[in-house]
Structure 1
Amino acid sequence: MQRFAAHEFLETQEALRTKHAEIEMHGLFAEMAQDPQLKNMITRHQRTVINAYQQGINLLLGKGVNVTNMPHVPQMRMMEQTSVGLHNPQMVPPNPHPSRLSDLTISTIMLNWHKNGSMVSMMWANECVDPQIRQYHISGANLCQEMAYETWQYMNARGFYQTPQLADHTMNTMVEAYQRQPVMV
């Protein structure tokens, strides 16, 4: 039996429990989503998490899944052209007693899951000594950031998540405050 360091084993257990919950939550969200494009994205994200879950199980069971040599293929799909700047932003008040979650709420929860998943997975990777387990968590961080960006694109295209932009003079003033470092020979 392959032995793991305590930190990497416990963090991989945590990652698997988290993926287990995400698989189930994605299933619920897919049932609740109204927008077919959101349903499709949720289903694809769920498949990604299922594959990552199975890889983690295989690693812990010593089945020889070699994540170190696995090329990373981005899963992200460009949904639509992103929009920067505010365009009459409005936020509907939250419903404290919903029988079904809105597409806004579903996509917001997904965005935050994936953003946090990326950060936590990288933190877990930093605690690993086994190269395969370390790479497993790094791959998880990359997949999460890609799913977060795809979710943000969906939200941005629907006006759910608008991105403020600084005025040109403010940006120019801030950029011009930096000086290039002289080239050292």
Structure 2
Amino acid sequence: MPLQGHEAFDLNELLLSCVNSINCMGFFKNHATDAQLKQMLEKHMDAHIRDYNMKVEWATKQQCKQTLSVPAMPAKMTQAQPPTPQPVTPKPDASNLDDRAIATSYLLTLKRAGREYAWAAFEASDPQLRQFLEDAFRMNSRHALEVSQWMTQKGYYPTEPASNTYLLQLAKIYQPVQEMAGVH
């Protein structure tokens, strides 16, 4: 059965997004100086190329026999003391990108693509296409977590634990509901 019009339109936007992501990742991996960042980009690049090729198959054959491998969830980052946040200033006349700019651009690309995958998955009427889009979302989500953890460790992506006062307020406000038998 051919794709629905909205599925084909979403697929076109996602393919264009993949072209952009892969082009940027190629540039990024050739300009990254941090070995861990470079290795992450190289590892992720293979997954994004496979994802792109699967979308091409969907666009040309209205089906795809392959399944996308979703990477394992990265382990929760543990740090005794978060690093001092590193200041940043935009560089309107930049002629190159440092590792922070590369990671920031890649992270924002992953987040935006993830939102697009989720939206397209909700709209897909073909169960196999929906599964592919859900897997692509999960792949992007896990890649984004890995990048954000690297950025946090470098002090490029500040995080802060919620205060005990706030957490206690949440615990007082929200109470569990008795689950209903037979409801799924």
Structure 1 counterpart of 2:177, one-letter code: Q
Q: Distance in 2 between matches of 1:155 and 1:102?
A: 13
**SS, match of residue 52 in structure 2:** helix
Q: CA deviation at 1:77?
A: 4.7
**SS, match of residue 94 in structure 1:** coil
Q: Distance in 1 between matches of 2:117 and 2:166?
A: 35
Q: Deviations over 1:87-140 (max 9, x none)?
A: 432313222222211111111111111111111101011121122222221111
Q: What residue number does 2:20 align with?
A: 21
Tell me, yes or no, if structure 1 residue 157 matches structure 2 residue 156. no
**SS, match of residue 28 in structure 2:** helix
Identical-residue share of aligned pairs (%): 27
Q: What residue number does 1:54 align with?
A: 53
Quick check: 1:125–1:134 contact (8 Å CA) kept in 2? yes
TM-score normalised over the length of structure 2:
0.86
Q: What residue number does 1:74 align with?
A: 71
TM-score normalised over the length of structure 1:
0.85
Q: CA deviation at 1:38?
A: 0.6
Quick check: 1:56–1:136 contact (8 Å CA) kept in 2? no
**Equivalent residues in 2 for 1:137-148, closer than 5 Å:** 137-148=133-144
Structure 2 counterpart of 1:74, one-letter code: P
Q: Distance in 2 between matches of 1:86 and 1:137?
A: 35
In 2 relative to 1, CA 64–93 (structure 1 residues): closer, same or farther, beyond 3 Å? closer
- The aligned length equals 181
Unaligned runs of 5+ residues in structure 2 are none
Q: Distance in 1 between matches of 2:119 and 2:130?
A: 10
Unaligned runs of 5+ residues in structure 1 are none
Q: CA RMSD, aligned part only? A: 2.4
Q: Deviations over 1:144-171 (max 9, x none)?
A: 1011001011111111112112221221
Q: What residue number does 1:121 align with?
A: 117
Tell me, yes or no, if structure 1 residue 133 matches structure 2 residue 129. yes
Quick check: 2:10–2:120 contact (8 Å CA) kept in 1? yes
Quick check: 1:30–1:39 contact (8 Å CA) kept in 2? yes
Q: Distance in 2 between matches of 1:71 and 1:98?
A: 36
Structure 1 counterpart of 2:6, one-letter code: H
